């Protein structure tokens, strides 16, 4: 069986994969939603959903550093990676262990494509269709909800010391646009730029993400005083997890308006 992943790599299997290692937290959650919990043999320390999953699976490292020997010992049929989460070097090394399927997602459409593709690979097409149909339904409902809301100039911060923001050609930027937010980072070749406090001050609304930097409410309060403008702490998972979590994301986004 041959499948083409989202990097246009041909991935070949001799049979339907039954032993899965996932190095992508959002896709680990998706695999469980697809009914494949029993098939997952290895995950990262960042695969925090479902909450008790890590207790029953082997932890093979993080997303940037993995234990290759531990991965090899689990005898996976497939290893799931992501272009942004996992380095090209890791993917190349893992190819010596098992077939590696890599996602590359900057839009909702690519997320839906990924879910349907995994449905085909694991022969759970029906469940994949249910999930994607639900995402589309929630998305259309949310678009109707925000349709008449005025646009706001927004900056989405993901790091501190130095401050770093989300730029164009990212999944988070796509979700900002769906929220009728105008990202003030406009350079198309700058995905996660460092930003000055002067630039931050030009935003009408500053969003502090809980990941990858773990911004807290106190950070939002301190920055709001410094800027004298609106600052909100937001759940980064709803803005950056591109699997089944999208079903819940659009209800969460309503709280921001």
Contacts 24+ apart (CB under 8 A), 96-103: 97/68, 97/71, 97/72, 98/21, 99/11, 99/12, 99/13, 99/17, 100/11, 101/3, 101/5, 101/11, 102/5, 102/6, 102/7, 102/9, 103/5, 103/6, 103/24, 103/27
Distance CA(46)–CA(14), nearest Å, equals 30
Q: Do the domains spanning 2-104 and 152-254 agree at the CATH topology level?
A: yes
Give the pLDDT band (50/70/90) at residue 229. Answer: confident
Give the pLDDT band (50/70/90) at residue 187. Answer: confident
Superfamily of 152-254 according to CATH: Nitrogenase molybdenum iron protein domain (3.40.50.1980)
Average pLDDT over residues 214-230: 93
Task: Identify the pLDDT of residue 206.
Answer: 98
- Of 71-80, 91-100, 106-115, 180-189, the poorest mean pLDDT is in 180-189
Task: Identify the pLDDT of residue 105.
Answer: 98
pTM for the model stands at 0.95
Give the pLDDT band (50/70/90) at residue 186. Answer: confident
Residue 184 has pLDDT above 80, yes or no: yes
Task: Identify the pLDDT of residue 228.
Answer: 78
Task: Identify the pLDDT of residue 84.
Answer: 95
Give the pLDDT band (50/70/90) at residue 24. Answer: very high
Task: Identify the pLDDT of residue 66.
Answer: 96
- Of 24-33, 59-68, 182-191, the poorest mean pLDDT is in 182-191
CATH code of 2-104, in short, is 3.40.50.1980
Q: β-strands 152-159, 205-209: how paired?
A: parallel
Domain boundaries, the chain: 2-104, 152-254
Write the pLDDT tens digit of every residue in 41-91.
999 999 999 999 999 999 999 999 999 999 999 999 999 999 999 999 999
Give the pLDDT band (50/70/90) at residue 189. Answer: confident
8-state DSSP, 148: T
Q: Which of 169, 179, 167, 141 is nearest to 255 (CA)?
A: 179
Average pLDDT over residues 10-36: 98
Q: How buried is 238 (Cβ within 10 angstroms: 0-12 exposed, 13-18 middle, 19+ buried)?
A: buried
- Compute the mean pLDDT over every residue in the chain, rounded to the nearest whole number: 96
CB neighbourhood size of 163 (10 A): 20
């Amino acid at each position: 069986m041959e499948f083409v992943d989202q990097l246009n790599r041909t991935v070949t299997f001799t049979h339907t994969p039954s032993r899965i290692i996932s190095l992508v937290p959002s896709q680990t959650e998706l695999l469980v939603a697809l009914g494949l919990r029993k098939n997952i043999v290895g995950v990262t320390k960042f695969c925090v959903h479902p909450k008790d999953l890590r207790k029953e699976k082997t932890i093979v490292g993080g997303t940037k550093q993995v234990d290759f020997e531990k991965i090899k010992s689990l005898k996976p049929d497939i290893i799931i990676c992501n272009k942004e989460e996992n380095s090209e070097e890791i993917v190349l090394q893992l190819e010596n262990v098992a077939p590696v399927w890599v996602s590359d997602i900057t839009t909702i459409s690519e997320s839906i494509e990924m879910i349907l593709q995994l449905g085909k690979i694991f022969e759970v097409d029906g469940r994949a269709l249910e999930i994607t149909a639900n995402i589309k339904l929630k998305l259309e409902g949310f678009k109707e909800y925000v349709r008449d809301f005025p646009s706001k100039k927004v900056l989405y911060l993901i790091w501190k010391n130095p401050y770093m923001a989300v730029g164009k050609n990212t999944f988070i930027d796509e979700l900002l646009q769906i929220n009728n937010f105008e990202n003030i980072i406009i350079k198309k070749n700058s995905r996660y730029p460092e930003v000055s406090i002067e630039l931050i001050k030009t935003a009408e609304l500053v969003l502090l993400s809980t990941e990858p930097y773990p911004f807290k409410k106190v950070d939002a309060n301190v920055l709001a005083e410094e800027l004298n403008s609106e600052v909100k702490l937001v759940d980064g998972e709803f803005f950056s997890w591109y699997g089944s979590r999208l079903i819940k994301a659009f209800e969460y986004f309503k709280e921001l308006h």
